[in-house]
């Protein structure tokens, strides 16, 4: 397709967009009486309008039924979480029994490492990417210390090549091969938060499995954004948050994937709680833990249904649209944003550089050359909400559910104005 940097072209693209109507399903912050150009769905997705009804339903059940809402509500609270498993399984490419929702992301990664990081003498190292998201870095280092190892030697960080902004798949494969006799775990971010790169999860997983190394993925920036086939790729475990591309609300719940080979087993080490026991006998208060036969065995406490409600509301839209349609629009929308950026770059003579490679979801990270935080502040003052990352990067995430082609065009005009002001 041949793009054009005109308002008329952008409006024509929106008019032919089969997902355009979903923009009206979301609530936009306002700037001077108009919706902002929202580019931070990779940090916090917009609120779906239908979320309120799902939360209010629980509030009404609580008011009218009290504790009996656990069993007598239209969506009983005691099994509320089960409603999220099927739509999530489609999004992450899993079997329904391999998925559940509980806790928050880093909490879940710690809990999963109880089961899947089992270091032994001589085989205790964890392979991760250079400068992983800080929470992952803290988690991995603290896990190493908890098991009595020095993080400086326990972590194997795969570096970017000198002068480059992205990783090469073969560097991960080579690192796994080189350290295979020392590795207890590979744990990587499926989509890098900083540069927006999608790692080759299939190839890296296959290499880890071939070397007999456990592998897990942090999918915070991948779930609801890119194609995932966790079951087919034979991933051991994964976790993701729900408040970025899945629009469930700030700091909300995390989903987990646990490969079916680890299900319905009592010999798996894990921290246990009563919501992981068999549903049929849970309220008999038996002293012995009897694990659920699915991923719910890793649950600890009863479902926080008021947090699950907006997640379930958002998942209804994923069910209606499907990941294939979302991904198709995402690729087109992100390509148009790239075209706009490169057009502006030409017009202002090389003031910035896109550091996101072709392997990407709906995020472009732009490194500013000769510009600073002042340009970001200018964009904010004009009703554009991007995301700033030190030392000099603006992250832009055109989300297919609610961003439009007109957003991309208007952003380009504002960006050009901001650069030329300097």
The model's pLDDT over 134-157, given as tens digits with 9 standing for 90+, comes to 999 999 999 999 999 999 999 999
Q: What is the pLDDT of residues 4-15, one digit of tens each?
A: 999 999 999 999
Q: Quick count: other Cβ atoms within 10 Å of Cβ 193?
A: 24
Tokens representing 87? Answer: 């739509």
HSE-up (13 A, CA, CB side) for residue 344:
26
C-alpha span between 188 and 135 (Å, rounded): 12
Residue 350 has a pLDDT of: 67
pLDDT (0 to 100) of residue 412:
97
> For 209-235, what is each residue's pLDDT tens digit?
999 999 999 999 999 999 999 999 999
SS3 of residue 165 by DSSP: coil
Q: Which two tokens stand for residue 287?
A: 């002293």
Which residues partner with 134 through β-bridges? none
- Between CA 189 and CA 173 the distance in angstroms is 15
Q: How many CA atoms lie within 13 A of 78 on its CB side?
A: 13
Residue ranges and CATH numbers for the domains of the chain are: 7-48+322-420 (3.90.1150.10), 80-321 (3.40.640.10)
- 51 phi and psi angles, rounded to 5 deg: -60, -40
Q: Name residues of the chain where pLDDT drops below 50.
A: none
Q: Six-digit token pair at 103?
A: 């806790």
Tokens of 249: 């609300």
Quote the pLDDT of residue 223.
98
Q: Report how far residue 251's alpha carbon sits from residue 160's, in angstroms, rounded to the nearest whole number.
A: 30
- Phi, psi (degrees; rounded to nearest 5) at 111: -65, -40
The CA distance from 64 to 98, in Å, is 34
Question: What pLDDT score does 401 carry?
Answer: 98
The whole-angstrom separation of Cα 110 and Cα 268 is: 15
Q: What count of other Cβ atoms lies within 10 Å of the Cβ of residue 215?
A: 27
CA distance 392 to 100: 38
Spell out the long-range contacts of 73-82 with Cβ–Cβ below 8 A and sequence spacing 24 or more.
77/302, 77/303, 77/305, 78/302, 78/303, 79/279, 79/303, 80/303, 80/305, 80/308, 80/312, 81/296, 81/299, 81/303, 81/308
At residue 370, the pLDDT reads 67
pLDDT score of 76: 97
Distance CA 86, CA 66 (A): 28
Any residues with CB less than 8 A from the CB of 147 and at least 6 apart, and which?
117, 119, 124
- Helix ranges (H only) for 76-168 are 82-92, 105-116, 134-146, 151-154
- Token pair 């700033």 is found at 388
Nearest to residue 326, comparing CAs of 196, 202, 226? 226
Say what the pLDDT of residue 120 is.
92
Task: Encode burial over 311-332: b for 16+ CB neighbours within 10 A, e otherwise.
Answer: bbbbbebbeebebeebbebbeb
């Amino acid at each position: 397709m041949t793009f054009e940097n005109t308002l008329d072209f952008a409006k024509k693209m929106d008019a032919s967009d089969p997902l355009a109507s979903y923009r009206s399903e979301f609530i936009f912050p306002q700037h001077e009486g108009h919706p902002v150009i929202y580019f931070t769905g990779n940090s916090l997705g917009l609120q779906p309008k239908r979320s309120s009804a799902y939360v209010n339903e629980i509030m009404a059940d609580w008011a009218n039924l009290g504790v009996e809402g656990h069993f007598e509500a239209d969506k009983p609270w005691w099994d509320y979480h089960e409603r999220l498993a099927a739509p999530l399984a489609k999004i992450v490419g899993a079997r329904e029994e391999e998925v559940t929702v509980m806790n928050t992301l880093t909490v879940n990664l710690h809990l999963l490492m109880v089961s899947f990081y089992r270091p032994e003498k001589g085989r205790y190292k964890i392979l991760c990417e250079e400068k992983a998201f800080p929470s992952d870095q803290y988690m991995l280092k603290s896990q190493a210390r908890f098991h009595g190892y020095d993080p400086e030697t326990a972590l194997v960080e795969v570096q970017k090549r000198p002068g480059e902004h992205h990783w090469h798949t073969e560097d991960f494969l080579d690192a796994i091969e080189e350290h295979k006799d020392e590795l207890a775990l590979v744990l990587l971010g499926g989509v890098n938060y900083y540069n927006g790169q999608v790692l080759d999860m299939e190839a890296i997983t296959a290499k880890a499995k071939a070397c007999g190394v456990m592998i897990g993925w942090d999918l915070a920036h991948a779930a609801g954004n890119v194609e995932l086939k966790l079951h087919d790729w034979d991933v051991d475990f994964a976790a993701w948050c729900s408040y970025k591309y899945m629009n469930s609300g700030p700091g909300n719940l995390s989903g987990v994937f646990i490969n079916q080979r680890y299900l319905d087993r009592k010999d798996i080490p894990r921290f246990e709680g009563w919501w992981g026991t068999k549903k049929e006998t849970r309220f008999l208060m038996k002293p012995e833990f009897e694990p659920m036969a699915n991923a719910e065995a890793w649950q600890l406490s009863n479902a926080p249904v008021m947090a699950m409600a907006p997640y379930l509301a958002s998942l209804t839209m994923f069910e209606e649209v499907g990941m294939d349609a979302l991904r198709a629009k995402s690729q087109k929308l992100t390509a148009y944003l790239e075209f706009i950026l490169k057009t502006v770059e030409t017009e202002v003579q090389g003031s910035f550089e896109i550091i996101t490679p072709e392997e990407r979801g709906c995020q472009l990270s732009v490194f500013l050359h000769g510009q600073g935080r002042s340009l970001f502040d200018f964009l904010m003052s004009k009703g554009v909400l991007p995301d700033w990352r030190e030392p000099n990067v603006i992250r832009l995430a055109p989300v297919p559910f609610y961003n439009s082609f007109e957003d991309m065009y208007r952003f380009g005009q504002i960006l050009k104005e901001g650069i030329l002001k300097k």
